[in-house]
Structure 1
Amino acid sequence: MKTLDHIDYRILDLLQVDAKYTIKEIASELGMTATPVYERIRRMEEEGYIKRYVALVNKDMLDFHVVVFCSVSLKGHNRQVLKTFEQQISGFPEIVECYHIAGTYDYLLKVIVRSMNEYQEFMVNRLANLEELGQVQSSFVMSEVKYSTGLRLDGHLNGNGEIT
């Protein structure tokens, strides 16, 4: 793997703001021609720096109004128990993020559903049915103060996901 330079970081910054930027637009922003920009992007894709391109949808416009962070403890902690739990919850579309964490709980889940009734249904009929599930503490989001998917690279991406 080649190490990234400041130009690569600027390209990544731009793509994090808008993955639909064309090669020509990125090249223009960087004062370069299109060919070396294309080659850098292709290399970063091949090396795994760029995992994929996605569209960020407006969850509220799609009627997903309930966001819950679930702190989960398991009954057991051996490798097989953890692996089984991770495989099981990976199949739950309501869970959009899952982190194995240190501390009082074992996992932190981010769950997004349309309503409290849907969350209750998910908890009672899906999550609570997992054999190794110990304890769950749910924290309901009242308002989203900051949401960003962009990483701050090379000091150019601000907290609003904009290039500075």
Structure 2
Amino acid sequence: MDKLDDVDLRILRILQKDSKKTTKEIAELLHLTASPVYERIKRLEKKGYIKRYVALINKSQIGCPITAICMVSLRYHDEGFIDKFDRQIKALPEVQECYHMAGKVDFFLKINLKSLEDYHEFVRLKLSKIENIGVLESYFVLKEIKATTEYHF
């Protein structure tokens, strides 16, 4: 990877906070002209520093206020079983995030749904169909204290 200079880092920080800022607005914040800022943003995108732009949706506004955290441990841990689990989890649209963990549990899943009943149906009809799950522990978020998509560098 190329070494990023201070201007690149400042651009990334600005876009993390508000990716709808125009090139002109970013240039004004940096006291630069729009053309070099545009070129820097394109380079950051091309080099993979910026993966994509998204809208962060208010989960309550769309009727999905329940956040469940699932801790999953597999019975068998060889590469084939882990790869199959990865594919099966990726196919479940309810799973918002999945992390392969080191430690007591194998996977951490974050799931947002409309209700506890929907979560029960998700576990019963989808998650439980994944054959290699040995242990599944579910936790429910009572209050979101902090949620951010920003990296600090």
TM-score by length of 1: 0.92
Give 3-state SS (helix, strand or coil) of 2:67's partner: strand
For these two proteins, the number of residue pairs brought into alignment is: 153
Cα displacement (A) at 1:2: 2.1
Partner of 2:87: 87
- 1:116-159 Cα offsets, whole Å, 9 max, x none, are 00000000110011111110011100000001001113xxxxxx
- Structure 1 gaps, min length 5: 154-164
After superposing on structure 2, the runs of 4+ consecutive aligned residues of structure 1 that deviate more than 3 Å are none
What pairs up with 1:78-117 in 2 under 5 angstroms? 78-117=78-117
**Cα distance in structure 2, aligned partners of 1:134 and 1:93:** 22
**Where does structure 2 lack aligned partners over 5 or more consecutive residues?**
none
Q: How much identity, in percent, do the aligned residues show?
A: 46
Which SS does the other structure have where 2:3 is aligned?
coil
Aligned partners of 1:62, 1:42: CA distance in 2, in Å? 33
Structure 2 matches for 1:101-140, cutoff 5 A?
Answer: 101-140=101-140
What is aligned with 1:159? none
> 1:55 matched to which residue of 2?
55
In 1, distance between residues paired with 2:116 and 2:88? 22
RMSD: 0.7
Distance (Å, rounded) in 1 between the aligned partners of 2:78 and 2:66:
33
Render the CA deviation track for 1:3-35: whole Å, top value 9, x for unaligned.
111110100000011101000000000000011
